[in-house]
Amino acid sequence: MRKRRLRPAIALAVIAGLLAPGVVTAPPAVAAPTGGKKVIANLFEWNWPSVASECGSTLGPKGYGFVQVSPPQEHVRGNQWWVAYQPVSYRIESRKGTRAQFKSMVDACHAAGVKVIVDAVINHMSGQDNGGVGWAGSSYQHHVYPGIYQAQDFHYCGRNGNNDIVNYHDRYEVQNCELVNLSDLKTESDYVRSRLAAYLNDLLSLGVDGFRLDASKHMPAADIGNILSRLSRPAYIVQEVIYGAGEPITPNEYTGNGDVHEFRYGKDLARVFRSERLAYLRNFGEGWGHLPSGVASVFVDNHDTQRDDGGVLTYRDRGIYALANAFMLAWPYGSPTVMSSYTFNNRDAGPPSDGNNKTHNTVCYSGWECEHRWQVIANMVGFRNATEGAGVSNWYDNGNNHIAFSRTGRGYITINHEGSAINGRSYYTGLPAGRYCDVIHGTFTNGTCSGPVITVDANGWFSANIPAHDAIAIHQNARLP
């Protein structure tokens, strides 16, 4: 959750204790993505029936390993997207659906071979000074959530006249003051830790496989570690810790708990695609000072950066955005997340909804952008799966905006981001001879390709012309008979 400016009073709610607050003794939940399917699709603000359907129709068949869903707990009322990040209780009841629908969604995704990651809000509760009634009818006040939290369970940093964070170069302030008025939980308290663990364990009981921990930077890493130690079973963990130059709190502090979002990745990638040279990407990732690959969660954009960072590529960039995602899915750094958005013009705008602010079922390309379905992006998920674990070899660049590389023995991609076509070139892939589907322009299904076929000769070479701002990608799992 970014530093977001909240709008006036929206109602919010709280439920009496969902689970007993006892401590659960369990191994830390630090399991990283495993197996050959590690790509995450972030279906931002999709409702539960739509996620369930998408797992079976698209995510599973295309090879996505995980789906990340928006916060499922009861929240303040309103249409804005950020109401989901203002909890009022830990009931699984929100504008995206009921507890039963959530459980059905998890089961449907598992049946399709897709694991479920929940965006979990555990740093704070609501930001509404006057309190109110939440989505499911729970009453609340800014620092009182009946049956869950009372005034003593929150931080009051006593700074800036309103307890809000102002100075991000002050560790105490960042982790003890309020993020834009959101009531800041006292995560060093054993009781608060037990309540948060109870919420996460409830989600685990519904089959959830992992958590994206929102606003992790605003909690000491040790507090998060203690909460995770109380989980009933291991789960994949990724933490939102936004890098800030010169700030005392760094993403590296949190890697002991699990993966960490590498926010520099999308901004650096956008800068290269927009105004620098793709040739610079030869050592992209750790070579650029980013987090170690094994703990980095990467994305071209996410729901925060597409609203607040003019320096990232988004769905509005169309073809260049698709190429940047293709590079991300081809390049073996970090665990990639593909963003799936709804169309918006106002940064506060919520998803397509009815008059009661209940989220509509998703209809792709009609108010919903569905980038995860775009042919280039969806087919490059298969490329990522086919090349998992293989290194980079046969790097080529022209010193400017034409690059190519192999994922050794398993796949090959060449991207031409020049302003004109590259014609008459041959490319050394290191792949076995054969006919391969170009998954940038076609889909490989049941041994056939809906687009161009690339022929690799006995020495591992192919010849092709590549238009401006275009690419070719082939891999071992899209080889024709």
What residues are annotated to the active site? 214, 240
Structure tokens at 112: 């399709």
Distance of CA 196 to the CA centre of its chain: 21
Nearest to 64 by CA among 369, 411, 338: 338
Cα separation of 54 and 87, whole Å? 26
- 3-state helix vs strand vs coil in the chain, percent to 5: 30, 25, 50
Instruction: Give 120's strand partners.
Output: 213
Cα separation of 59 and 205, whole Å? 23
Q: Is 192 helix (H, G, I), strand (E, B) or coil?
A: helix
CA distances from 402 to 11, 48, 397, 421 (A): 53, 42, 6, 10
Q: Is 107 helix (H, G, I), strand (E, B) or coil?
A: helix
Q: E-assigned strands of 300-421?
A: 335-340, 392-397, 402-407, 411-416
Cα separation of 212 and 180, whole Å? 20
CA atoms within 13 A on the CB side of 318: 1
Residue 225 has phi, psi (to 5 degrees) of -60, -40
With b for 16 or more beta-carbon neighbours within 10 A and e for fewer, the 391-428 pattern comes to ebebeebeeebbbbbbbbbbbbbbbbbbeeebeebebb
- CA pseudo-torsion sign 188, 190, 191, 192: positive
Structure tokens at 54: 């998408």
Cα separation of 325 and 341, whole Å? 14
- CA pseudo-torsion sign 203, 208, 209, 210: negative
Q: What is the dihedral of CA 214, 216, 219, 220, to 10 degrees?
A: 160
